[in-house]
Amino acid sequence: MEFVCNKENLMGGVQSVQRAVSHHGPMPILSNLLMVASSEGLEITATDLEVGIKAIVPAQVKIEGSITLAAKQLSEIVGKLPNSEIRFEVEGSRAVLFCAKSRFVLPGIGAEDFPALPEIDSEIPPVSLEANKLLRGIKQTTFAAARDDKSVISGISFKIEGGELEIAATDGYRLAIKRYPVEGATDLKAIIPARSMNELARMLNGGDLVSLSLAQNQVLFDFGDRYLTSRLIDGQYPNYRQIVPPSFAYQAQIDRASLLSSVERVSIMASEREAKVIKLRFSQGQIELKANAADLGESDEILEIDYEGEEMTVSFNSVYLTESLRAMEGETLLWSMNTAIAQTKISSSDDQTYSYILMPIRG
């Protein structure tokens, strides 16, 4: 095996896949990158058996072949090399890397022991999605998924129905939903691990198109020169639509940036032992934010808003509230509620495709 490529392309390929590397798994080879040189160029693959990522790098291949090399070591070496041509020569289970006046000899493991990425025998035609819209949907939802949880709500509900893509995430205390139209797409539904969706977000760029293929227990996102495969979570995702109230008695319009800044300031004094609770008291034309902790002190701040409903005090986990405000787009929020203990809906007057449901904290 022998090939030549430039440092920038090789580094880009290594960086694209290395987050799928397993550093503490039962199979030592999973801490390696699979490198395959062929007439199509250089393929670099990493997998931890749940997520797999492949990148195709332009290369002048002189002798075809394959090897696996330690991901961390290879990344560090290539990252320190000058912006110049890199030549790889592989003999048996070792690779020799040449660049300018540098030479590195790297031990490897035979490629035959590296697990192959699953073949996606799609039961439906591939779906073409706009990368920038998909990226927004991922960023606006995945943070609400359950963490450190092996249940279905540690995943993201990914559903296409009637020409509309709906991405949703919940941890039982909050719910984030993003919807947008997709033309000519076949109906489908899947539960994709939140981690896989976050890795996908890192691969999405600008206005590219990404092709989605779905099999019984696997999903494939195809960028043309990069691929991400992920196992799906088996099970039935909760019927989250039933927890969204059909109507609300009270609604406020609030400047999003101002509210976010106020919550971030006031919550400094919120107790870690009490779920970082922040209290919001709504009254005519204003909202008063309060937080306190026995060992920290207290804080309060008044923010002018557009509200003409009954006076109401609602308590929330300030972290959950902050994350939702950061995910929102647009200048003005629509804050909808019924009672101090019922679900609150937060949406944007500029973007009706996204909504966030948050359960108050009682007491």
User: Is residue 24 situated within a structural domain?
Assistant: yes
User: Is residue 120 situated within a structural domain?
Assistant: no
Q: How many residues are recorded in the chain?
A: 363
Give bridge partners of residue 178 from the DSSP assignment: 167, 354
Q: Using an 8 Å Cβ cutoff, are 240 and 170 in contact?
A: yes
Instruction: Residue 349: give its domain's CATH number.
Output: 3.10.150.10
Give bridge partners of residue 184 from the DSSP assignment: none
Domain that holds residue 225: 127-242
Please give the average per-residue pLDDT across 349-357, as a whole number: 93
Which of residues 317 and 120 earns the better pLDDT score?
317
Say whether pLDDT at 148 is over 80: no
Same domain, yes or no: 137 and 184:
yes
Same domain, yes or no: 46 and 71:
yes
> 253-267 pLDDT, tens per residue?
999 999 999 999 999
Same domain, yes or no: 219 and 230:
yes
Same domain, yes or no: 257 and 350:
yes
User: Is residue 158 situated within a structural domain?
Assistant: yes
> 205-224 pLDDT, tens per residue?
766 899 999 988 999 999 99
Same domain, yes or no: 352 and 306:
yes
Query: In angstroms, what CA-CA distances link 332 with 247, 249, 259, 312, 339?
Result: 20, 19, 10, 21, 22
User: Is residue 103 situated within a structural domain?
Assistant: yes
Question: What is the pTM for the complete model shown?
Answer: 0.92
Tokens of 1: 């095996």
Which residue, 242, 275, 291, sits at the end of a domain? 242
Same domain, yes or no: 20 and 99:
yes
User: Is residue 363 situated within a structural domain?
Assistant: no
Question: What's the CA dihedral at 265, 140, 204, 126 to 10 degrees?
Answer: 170
Same domain, yes or no: 302 and 230:
no
> Of 133, 135, 153, nearest to 144 (Cα)?
153
Q: What's the chain's average pLDDT?
A: 94
pLDDT class of 24 with cuts at 50, 70, 90? confident
Which residue, 85, 113, 141, sits at the end of a domain? 113
Please tell me the predicted confidence (pLDDT) of residue 308: 92
> 36-84 pLDDT, tens per residue?
999 999 999 999 999 999 999 999 999 999 999 999 999 999 999 999 9
Same domain, yes or no: 91 and 154:
no
Which residue, 113, 145, 177, sits at the end of a domain? 113
Q: Distance (Å, rounded) from C-alpha 132 to C-alpha 118?
A: 26
User: Is residue 121 situated within a structural domain?
Assistant: no
Same domain, yes or no: 136 and 104:
no
pLDDT class of 363 with cuts at 50, 70, 90? low
Same domain, yes or no: 59 and 69:
yes
Same domain, yes or no: 209 and 298:
no
Same domain, yes or no: 15 and 84:
yes
Please tell me the predicted confidence (pLDDT) of residue 72: 97
Sign of the alpha-carbon dihedral angle for 325, 331, 337, 340? positive
SS3 annotation, the chain: CEEEEEHHHHHHHHHHHHHHCCCCCCCHHHHEEEEEEECCEEEEEEECCCEEEEEEECCEEEECEEEEEEHHHHHHHHHHCCCCEEEEEEECCEEEEEECCEEEEEEEECHHHCCCCCCCCCCCCCEEEEHHHHHHHHHCCHHHCCCCCCCHHHEEEEEEECCEEEEEEECCCEEEEEEEECCCCCCEEEEEEHHHHHHHHHHCCCCCEEEEEECCCEEEEECCCEEEEEECCCCCCCCHHHHCCCCCCEEEEEEHHHHHHHHHHHHHHCCHHHCCEEEEEEECCEEEEEEEECCCEEEEEEEECECCCCCEEEEEEHHHHHHHHHHCCCCEEEEEECCCCCCEEEEECCEEEEEEEECCCCC
Question: What total number of domains does the chain contain?
Answer: 3
Please give the average per-residue pLDDT across 218-241, as a whole number: 95
Q: What percentage of the chain exceeds 90 in pLDDT?
A: 86
User: Is residue 202 situated within a structural domain?
Assistant: yes
Please give the average per-residue pLDDT across 6-30, as a whole number: 93
Please tell me the predicted confidence (pLDDT) of residue 207: 67
Q: Distance (Å, rounded) from C-alpha 215 to C-alpha 195?
A: 19
User: Is residue 305 situated within a structural domain?
Assistant: yes
